[in-house]
Amino acid sequence: MKTPSSPLQRYALVTETYPPQVNGVANTLGHLCEGLLQLGHQVELVRPAQPGEQPGRDDAGDLSEQRVMGMPIPRYSELQVGRSARRLLTQIWSRRRPDAVYVATEGPLGWSALRAARRLGLPVVSGFHTNFHQYAEHYGLGMFGAAAGAYLRWFHNQSQLTLTASMTQQNELARLGIHNLAALGRGVDHERFHPRHRSAELRETWQAGDDDLVLLYVGRLANEKNLQLLVDTWRSLNEQPGQAASQLRLVLAGTGPLKRQLQKALPDALFTGNLNGPELARHYASADIFLFPSLTETFGNVVIEAMASGLAVNAFDLAAANQHIHDRYSGCLATAADERQFAENLRWLIDDAEGLRGVRLHARHSACQLTWDAVIERFAGYLQKAAATRTSPATDMMIRRGPSAQSGGSGRSG
Contact between residue 240 and residue 203 where contact means Cβ atoms under 8 Å apart: no
* Residue 116, in any domain of the structure: yes
Alpha-carbon torsion 202, 206, 212, 215, what sign? negative
* pLDDT tens track for 287-323: 999 999 999 888 899 999 999 999 999 999 998 999 9
Chain-centroid distance of CA 233 in Å reads 25
pLDDT for position 242: 61
Give the count of domains, the chain: 2
> Which one, of 281, 348, 284, lies nearest residue 314 by Cα?
348
Same domain, 282 and 176: no
* Residue 1, in any domain of the structure: no
Domain termination site, one of 367, 386, 401? 367
What is the rounded distance in angstroms from the CA atom of residue 79 to the CA atom of residue 76? 6
Residue 23 maps to which CATH number? 3.40.50.2000
pLDDT for position 243: 54
* Residue 302, in any domain of the structure: yes
> Which one, of 28, 12, 3, 9, lies nearest residue 372 by Cα?
28
pLDDT for position 75: 61
pLDDT for position 131: 54
pLDDT for position 402: 55
Contact between residue 234 and residue 250 where contact means Cβ atoms under 8 Å apart: yes
pLDDT grade for 135, boundaries at 50, 70 and 90: very low
Same domain, 60 and 78: yes
* Residue 201, in any domain of the structure: yes
Same domain, 281 and 238: yes
> Which one, of 151, 104, 96, lies nearest residue 122 by Cα?
96
User: Across residues 101-115, what is the average pLDDT?
Assistant: 95
**Helix extents (H) in 39-180:** 86-95, 108-120, 132-138, 145-156, 167-176
Examine the pLDDT at 160 and tell me if it is beyond 50.
yes
Q: Strand order in 213-218's β-sheet? A: 270-273, 248-253, 213-218, 289-292, 312-316, 332-334
Query: What residues does 315 pair with on adjacent strands?
Result: 292, 333
pLDDT for position 197: 98
Total Cβ atoms within 10 A of residue 262: 18
What mean pLDDT value characterizes the chain? 88
Examine the pLDDT at 200 and tell me if it is beyond 50.
yes
Contact between residue 333 and residue 315 where contact means Cβ atoms under 8 Å apart: yes
User: Across residues 113-138, what is the average pLDDT?
Assistant: 79
Same domain, 156 and 199: no
Same domain, 207 and 166: no
Chain-centroid distance of CA 357 in Å reads 28
* Residue 4, in any domain of the structure: no
pLDDT grade for 412, boundaries at 50, 70 and 90: very low
- Percent share of the chain, pLDDT over 70: 86
* pLDDT tens track for 327-349: 999 999 999 999 999 999 999 99
> Which one, of 109, 146, 153, lies nearest residue 128 by Cα?
153
What is the rounded distance in angstroms from the CA atom of residue 88 to the CA atom of residue 111? 13
- Percent share of the chain, pLDDT over 90: 73
Same domain, 161 and 204: no
Same domain, 220 and 362: yes
| Element holding 131 (H helix, E strand) | none
User: Across residues 274-289, what is the average pLDDT?
Assistant: 97
Contact between residue 339 and residue 331 where contact means Cβ atoms under 8 Å apart: no
* Residue 56, in any domain of the structure: yes
* pLDDT tens track for 59-97: 988 999 999 998 877 666 666 788 999 999 999 999 999
Same domain, 243 and 330: yes
Same domain, 133 and 218: no
Better-predicted residue by pLDDT, 99 or 411: 99
Ranking 31-45, 77-91, 97-111, 122-136 by mean pLDDT, the lowest is 122-136
What is the rounded distance in angstroms from the CA atom of residue 213 to the CA atom of residue 218? 16
Examine the pLDDT at 273 and tell me if it is beyond 80.
yes
Same domain, 288 and 199: yes
Examine the pLDDT at 396 and tell me if it is beyond 70.
no
Same domain, 163 and 81: yes
Structural domain boundaries enclosing 80: 10-187+372-409
What is the rounded distance in angstroms from the CA atom of residue 180 to the CA atom of residue 178? 7
* Residue 269, in any domain of the structure: yes
Within 13 Å and on the Cβ side, how many CA atoms surround 296?
Answer: 17
Same domain, 380 and 298: no
pLDDT for position 168: 82
* Residue 414, in any domain of the structure: no
What is the rounded distance in angstroms from the CA atom of residue 367 to the CA atom of residue 335? 22
What is the rounded distance in angstroms from the CA atom of residue 104 to the CA atom of residue 43? 14
